[in-house]
A and B are shown apart, each in its own frame.
Chain A
Amino acid sequence: MKKRVTIYKGFERFWHWAQAALVLLLAFSGFEVHGSLDFFGFEQAVSIHTTAAWAFLVLIAFAIFWHITTGEWRQYIPTKQYIRSYIEYYLIGIFRNAPHPTRKTTLSKLNPLQKIVYFSLKAVIIPVMVSSGLLYLFFRYPQRYGIESLTIGGLETIAVLHTAGAFVLVSFFIVHIYLITTGTTITSNLKAMITGVEELEDEEEVLSASDVRSAPAVGRNDSIDPKAATQ
């Protein structure tokens, strides 16, 4: 049974798209500050980057609150289950029109590879970017005020770390954009993130059949359309 479900809630979609816009803005302005692009002009780029960074921090605060209060944070706990199946799926199955190894449900929106990638983003890359970014922003030549505990000799370490993180994010962005097209149909993932609604297997059925965290496809065979989606 297929059913139209609201898979991405209002805030979740707002968060996603606001984040997308901010990340793009941060990337363009950031790489201009870095000297790789000439787009806004250096002064404007710095101003945009700073403003977008603050907006991003506020957004992060809201997102954290939302994830905690709704329990959605559990979606990102990495699992080893089905990793092999997913690697095989993206290397072989996808070309043969095979179904996704697990089904997408409101309780398990992310496949195991997504869980690993998003968990690393949230636990490593974003914290690195935020902390190096704040240090960059508040770097005030501490030795001048004799703040010995904060002896940052110069911007080099902070800037190089921030740049390395930025490259990882750009690479994530490219792969992310591509993987949007690997849903049930080319656009089903995109539509879901815009409208929030996606046609999924009936949750009751899935629930009764499998583990809620990473629900495997029920009755995986060729007769069932590969309706499970991923991005």
Chain B
Amino acid sequence: MIKRAFALTAVILVVVLVLISQLPEKVRFDTPLSKLKDEYKTKKRSSVVHASFPELRKQFSSPRDVTAACIRCHNGSHTEVMATSHWKWEREEFIVGKGIRTVGKKNILNNFCIGISGNETTCNSCHVGYGWGDRTFNFSDSLNVDCLGCHDHTGTYVKPVGNSGYPDPTINLALVAQSVGRPIRENCGVCHFNSGGGNNVKHGDLESALLETTRDIDVHLASDGGDLHCVDCHRTENHQMLGKMYTFSSMNRDRATCEQCHGSLPHENDVINEHTMKVACQTCHIPRYAKVNPVKTTWDWSTAGRLRNAEPYEERDSTGVITYTSKKGTFTWGRNLIPEYFWFNGTASHYLLGDTLPATEPLQMNPLQGSYDDPEAKIVPVRVHRALQIYDTKYRYLIQPKTVSTKHGDCGYWKEFNWPRAAEEGMKEVGLPYSGEYGFTSTEMYLPLNHMVSPKSETVKCEECHTRDGSRIAALTDFYLPGRDRSAPVETFGFFLVVVSLIGALGHAATRIVFRKRTQSEQQQ
């Protein structure tokens, strides 16, 4: 009787334990999603109507006059803007292996349009200022600050290429000035969606489709989702915004992170929460990128310069994307791509102007730092852009070519299609010698993905990584991953053991049957 009670208790305990382990651990919920959704449901509205200010109800002859009008009330904002990277395009950074350097868009090369030096009139149409057309730009003139690019709400404010950051002269500046408000997606998108010379050339997860989108593309920006604006996550204080682009940022600071809203343990499942120590949110929640429009995957500068009837030309594929232009060479594009994965601790190194190229290709333009053993590092999804770009074969460093041409005979490649002249002029601009000999070397640029977060149902499934064949993180081999990895000796030992047991049991059984039959037939005789 006692033993039966004992057994019953055991059964009940096991059942209870099973039930308890199935309960979601609500305790771990430090930022419930529902609370966040409520918080962002009410849209921020300005309490000020700029249109009623007499200072703005007049004709402006120059955008600089608008800035002057802004400063009259916002009399500290211009100094704030002038302290940001959006204005300086450089900042002091500690770079692994290189020490403290002042770097940014101003002097770091990329493997898209390569670099701004000598090409400012066009590249710098995305500068938050007016008139940065060459090295003589005055960074301390507050009237050079462009308030409207980020604060325009009319959607009419355009800064054309080749205009050194000045807006189109036909724009009604008064109307724009009266419309200003908190930056919306359109303001940021003008530059951040079209960087590199067109929509989705650079990022893959930032493109014009995000202006008006749905949850399956981006849960945060979707009109049927969070309907957020960029600055909701890229929180801004005194014009200093959170968020990093590691193509030219180096240090782990001022980042806009998922955790800032969602907390560090946002899942109901403990095992998944545990993953967040080594796996970034983005890794599972951005299963694919370039989900709407294609992103440029490779850029071969070496084929640039072909002419038809002495004229430059363009070629497009059946989907309408440019596959060749005489100005820039050959491109390939990809849509709905699976990211590549890297360990990343928030710091990146950089190839800097004048650095000697490594002996082996490709050149890593911005190697992301981190490894399994690095406690700060997590696995992140990355878009890798691969290119062939021009370098000095004798001095073995990358060349900053002059691409943009503003006047006849200024060596701009996009007019003359002459690499030696473009190289010489560009290198003169950055103050490095050019040997006169050039070639093309393969380069890689790493762009960690942070946008186009998919709905929960699209999240990367366990077995997409925990699998022997075709694991998403097959390239990360510096640690043991259950389901993917195994020890060859133990597998061999195990297989041998199981096979020997099976053969032993079956062989023994067969022998018994044979002997039994023999005995039976003997008895019958």
- Contact bitstring A93-107, B, C-beta under 8 A = 1, else 0: 011110000000000
Q: Contact between A167 and B479 (Cβ–Cβ < 8 Å)?
A: no
In the assembled complex, the Cα of A139 lies from the Cα of B480 at a distance in Å of 13
A35 to chain B, nearest CB (A): 4
Q: Contact between B17 and A55 (Cβ–Cβ < 8 Å)?
A: yes
Q: Contact between B483 and A58 (Cβ–Cβ < 8 Å)?
A: no
- Contact bitstring B1-30, A, C-beta under 8 A = 1, else 0: 001101100110110011001100000000
Choose among B7, B484, B500, B502 the residue with the greatest number of A CB atoms under 10 Å from its CB: B7
Q: Contact between A171 and B501 (Cβ–Cβ < 8 Å)?
A: yes
With both beta carbons as reference points, the residue of chain B lying nearest to A143 in the complex is identified as B375
Q: Contact between A59 and B497 (Cβ–Cβ < 8 Å)?
A: no
In the assembled complex, the Cα of A155 lies from the Cα of B274 at a distance in Å of 14
Stretch from B93-101, B149-157, B226-234, B458-466 contacting the other chain: B458-466
- Known contacts A11-B3, A11-B7, A140-B274, A167 near B493 by CB under 8 Å: yes
B518 to chain A, nearest CB (A): 9
Stretch from B187-195, B216-224, B418-426, B504-512 contacting the other chain: B504-512
Query: 8 Å CB contacts to B: which residues of A58-76?
Result: 58-59, 62, 66
The interface residues of chain B lying within 8 Å CB-to-CB of A58 are 10, 13-14, 17
User: Pick the contact of B372 from A34, A41, A62, A154 — CB < 8 Å?
Assistant: A154
In the assembled complex, the Cα of A97 lies from the Cα of B518 at a distance in Å of 11
User: Pick the contact of A163 from B22, B372, B461, B486 — CB < 8 Å?
Assistant: B486
In the assembled complex, the Cα of A228 lies from the Cα of B15 at a distance in Å of 37
Specify the main secondary structure of chain A where it touches its partner: helix
Q: Contact between A33 and B7 (Cβ–Cβ < 8 Å)?
A: no
- Contact bitstring A2-29, B, C-beta under 8 A = 1, else 0: 0000000111001100100000000000
In the assembled complex, the Cα of A33 lies from the Cα of B484 at a distance in Å of 9
The interface residues of chain B lying within 8 Å CB-to-CB of A35 are 466-468, 482-484, 486
Report the number of A-B residue pairs with Cβ-Cβ less than 8 Å.
136
User: Pick the contact of B515 from A50, A96, A168, A170 — CB < 8 Å?
Assistant: A96
B310 near A: Cβ within 8 Å?
A: no
Q: Contact between B10 and A62 (Cβ–Cβ < 8 Å)?
A: yes
- Known contacts A51-B22, A140-B277, A163 near B479 by CB under 8 Å: no
The interface residues of chain A lying within 8 Å CB-to-CB of B495 are 167
In the assembled complex, the Cα of A175 lies from the Cα of B504 at a distance in Å of 8
The interface residues of chain B lying within 8 Å CB-to-CB of A175 are 501, 504-505
The interface residues of chain B lying within 8 Å CB-to-CB of A54 are 17-18, 21
- Known contacts A35-B467, A55-B18, A171 near B515 by CB under 8 Å: no
B39 near A: Cβ within 8 Å?
A: no
B433 near A: Cβ within 8 Å?
A: no
Q: Contact between B6 and A11 (Cβ–Cβ < 8 Å)?
A: yes
With both beta carbons as reference points, the residue of chain B lying nearest to A137 in the complex is identified as B271
In the assembled complex, the Cα of A167 lies from the Cα of B400 at a distance in Å of 60
B278 near A: Cβ within 8 Å?
A: yes
What is the interface size of chain B, counting residues whose CB is below 8 A from a CB of the partner? Answer: 53
With both beta carbons as reference points, the residue of chain B lying nearest to A69 in the complex is identified as B6
A139 to chain B, nearest CB (A): 8
In the assembled complex, the Cα of A10 lies from the Cα of B17 at a distance in Å of 22
Q: Contact between A43 and B373 (Cβ–Cβ < 8 Å)?
A: no
Q: Contact between B512 and A159 (Cβ–Cβ < 8 Å)?
A: no
Q: Contact between A167 and B494 (Cβ–Cβ < 8 Å)?
A: yes
User: Pick the contact of B10 from A14, A34, A171 — CB < 8 Å?
Assistant: A14
Query: 8 Å CB contacts to B: which residues of A160-189?
Result: 160, 163-164, 166-168, 170-172, 174-175, 177-178, 181
The interface residues of chain B lying within 8 Å CB-to-CB of A178 are 505, 508-509
User: Pick the contact of B21 from A51, A66, A95, A171 — CB < 8 Å?
Assistant: A51
A99 to chain B, nearest CB (A): 15
In the assembled complex, the Cα of A123 lies from the Cα of B13 at a distance in Å of 25
In the assembled complex, the Cα of A143 lies from the Cα of B509 at a distance in Å of 53
- Contact bitstring B114-153, A, C-beta under 8 A = 1, else 0: 0000000000000000000000000000000000000000
The interface residues of chain A lying within 8 Å CB-to-CB of B373 are 153
Query: 8 Å CB contacts to B: which residues of A167-225?
Result: 167-168, 170-172, 174-175, 177-178, 181
The interface residues of chain B lying within 8 Å CB-to-CB of A148 are none
B525 near A: Cβ within 8 Å?
A: no
Q: Contact between B4 and A10 (Cβ–Cβ < 8 Å)?
A: yes
In the assembled complex, the Cα of A90 lies from the Cα of B511 at a distance in Å of 11
Q: Contact between A141 and B375 (Cβ–Cβ < 8 Å)?
A: yes
Q: Contact between A159 and B484 (Cβ–Cβ < 8 Å)?
A: no
A144 near B: Cβ within 8 Å?
A: yes
Q: Contact between B498 and A174 (Cβ–Cβ < 8 Å)?
A: yes
The interface residues of chain A lying within 8 Å CB-to-CB of B4 are 10
In the assembled complex, the Cα of A58 lies from the Cα of B9 at a distance in Å of 11
- Known contacts A35-B466, A41-B463, A164 near B483 by CB under 8 Å: no
A86 near B: Cβ within 8 Å?
A: no
The interface residues of chain A lying within 8 Å CB-to-CB of B62 are none
B475 near A: Cβ within 8 Å?
A: no
A118 near B: Cβ within 8 Å?
A: no
A42 near B: Cβ within 8 Å?
A: yes
Q: Contact between B11 and A14 (Cβ–Cβ < 8 Å)?
A: yes
In the assembled complex, the Cα of A38 lies from the Cα of B10 at a distance in Å of 32
Q: Contact between B512 and A94 (Cβ–Cβ < 8 Å)?
A: yes
- Contact bitstring B78-89, A, C-beta under 8 A = 1, else 0: 000000000000
- Known contacts A11-B6, A46-B462, A54-B17, A163 near B505 by CB under 8 Å: no
With both beta carbons as reference points, the residue of chain B lying nearest to A170 in the complex is identified as B498
The interface residues of chain A lying within 8 Å CB-to-CB of B466 are 33, 35, 42
Q: Contact between B480 and A9 (Cβ–Cβ < 8 Å)?
A: no
Q: Contact between B468 and A9 (Cβ–Cβ < 8 Å)?
A: no
Residues of chain A touching chain B, judged by Cβ–Cβ distance below 8 Å, are 9-11, 14-15, 18, 33-35, 41-43, 46-47, 50-51, 54-55, 58-59, 62, 66, 90, 94-97, 140-141, 143-144, 153-156, 159-160, 163-164, 166-168, 170-172, 174-175, 177-178, 181
Closest 5 A-B residue pairs measured CB to CB?
A167-B494, A178-B505, A156-B480, A42-B462, A95-B515
A-B contact pairs, 10 of them (CB 8 A): A11-B7, A46-B462, A58-B13, A96-B519, A141-B277, A159-B485, A160-B490, A174-B498, A174-B505, A175-B501
Known: A11-B3, A181-B509. 14 other contacts (CB 8 A): A14-B11, A35-B467, A96-B515, A141-B375, A155-B479, A155-B480, A156-B485, A160-B480, A160-B486, A163-B486, A167-B498, A168-B497, A171-B501, A174-B502
